[in-house]
Amino acid sequence: MTFRFDNSWARNLPGTFLRLDPSKAPEPVLLAWNQPLAEALGLGDEARERAAAWFSGAEVPPGAEPVALAYAGHQFGGFSPQLGDGRAHLLGEHIAPDGRRWDLQLKGSGRTPFSRGGDGKAAVGPMLREYLISEAMAALGIPTTRSLAVVATGETVWRDGMALPGAVVARIAASHIRVGSFQFLATRDEGAKLGALMDYTIARHYPHLAPGDALGLFDAVAARQARLIAEWMGVGFIHGVMNTDNMALSGETIDYGPCAFMETYAPGTVFSSIDRQGRYAYANQPLILGWNLARLAECLVSWFAVDEETAVAIANQRLGGIAALYRAEWVGVMRRKLALDGEDAGDGALADDLLAAMQGQGADWTLTFRRLARAAEGEEAPLAALFADATALRAWLPRWRARLAADAPARLRAANPAVIPRNHLVEEALAAATVGDMAPFEALLAEVRRPFAAEVGRERFTLPAPTGFGPYVTFCGT
């Protein structure tokens, strides 16, 4: 089986896209192919054999109807009424054997009317980065878009005066409906089209809701987003560019630009070169969750109630509950990461106190939680060794042990990864791939796909960056 395209977006949502084909890559070469994902999508050998052509823009797959999607967005707090796919083309929607619908999008596939002066292209490094990090997130059990393939185009892309090899990533997503998709229509006062988008979103992602149930849609999106951000926080993931156009209503992580995983626990950690004010710092991500949901509420509020004053009151009431909604999800994540027995009202404070003990002590986020398993077995020294001063940690441990589940060591190892995409290893892999050596990338990919496996034999992938690496800075990859 190859693709079974349906293309309902292009059929049902006029005024939200422009039809155009991707740019044709002159010499496409397949760099990475996601065989497990291909099998889950029901794709056979033909898809892999045609991957270099189909996923580079050289050819359009049979049945695809390429479009560039229109959306608006708040970028670092400033509103742009028209953004859109400036270097991406939605080829269509593939129906998998289980009946699920998946967007197939090319990223780095050439200029569109939304490019705003950009060349519409992408380099090998950022496209492989999206593949690598999204596969890591999927293995960690965190909702995410995924990469089906990365194809070198044979073109040269210029970035900051450097000539880099060009590439395209083929991205699979539950959909590319964003908060910015709603903002695009709301700011134009396109009420009928906004209603159509709302009903389309409900049918595609929340079919238990009735058409027109804007409040139900908002509540469902808020619940998924709160759960998603709590999961990010649990693994130390920093998205880096939580603009409203990067917030998917499906509840998936989308757009892996300047993202990275925090190593030393520091709430103010920022990696993105363009986030100079720390708007999207690690500790701010739950706050931005609420801010972005407020922007969605602004688009939907007129459907919350017939009376405007009542509708606004409902919106404010829902937004006022976002912090508590997130907190409940975060405490749930921390209960799992700490292997606590059942639920107790003091569990949130217990988790907070561990973080307080970690802060300022140089403790590695991932290793701290992973080594809790050894502490649960009575071996505290490896955990304490992560702290410059373990006094507060040692005071905390008896309180934690009093709440442990009977099978805590096994639970802890199942909930806390040994391997994440360590920043120095990511850079090493991408630098090698840029000059044609894919071996480090493939080795790292294999390890991040089994994050919870035992450390033995792969210690190199479990340790923080060596002294002298950093400060680490990421870039958006445009």
The tens digit of pLDDT for each residue in 238-254 reads 999 999 999 999 999 99
Q: Write down the pLDDT at residue 477.
A: 67
Cα separation of 294 and 263, whole Å?
Answer: 31
Q: Write down the pLDDT at residue 478.
A: 47
Residue with token string 């269509």: 92
Q: Write down the pLDDT at residue 385.
A: 98
245 assigned to active site: yes
Question: Low-confidence residues of the chain, pLDDT below 50?
Answer: 478
pTM of the entire structure?
0.97
Q: Write down the pLDDT at residue 2.
A: 86
- Which letter, b or e, does each residue of 26-61 get, where b requires 16 or more Cβ atoms within 10 Å of its Cβ? eebebbbbbeebbebbbbeeebbebbbbbbbbbbbb
Cα separation of 270 and 283, whole Å?
Answer: 10
Count CA atoms within 13 Å of residue 136 on its CB side: 30
In 361-428, which ranges are E strands?
none
Output Rg (C-alpha) for the chain, integer angstroms.
23
Residue with token string 């908002």: 218
Which of 245, 255, 275, 364 is flagged as catalytic?
245
Q: Write down the pLDDT at residue 475.
A: 85
Using N-to-C axis directions, what is the helix angle for 191-205 and 214-235, rounded to 10°?
60
Residue with token string 């950093």: 470
Residue with token string 């993202």: 259
Which strands, in side-by-side order, build the sheet including 67-69? 17-19, 67-69, 88-95, 101-107, 162-173, 146-159, 29-33
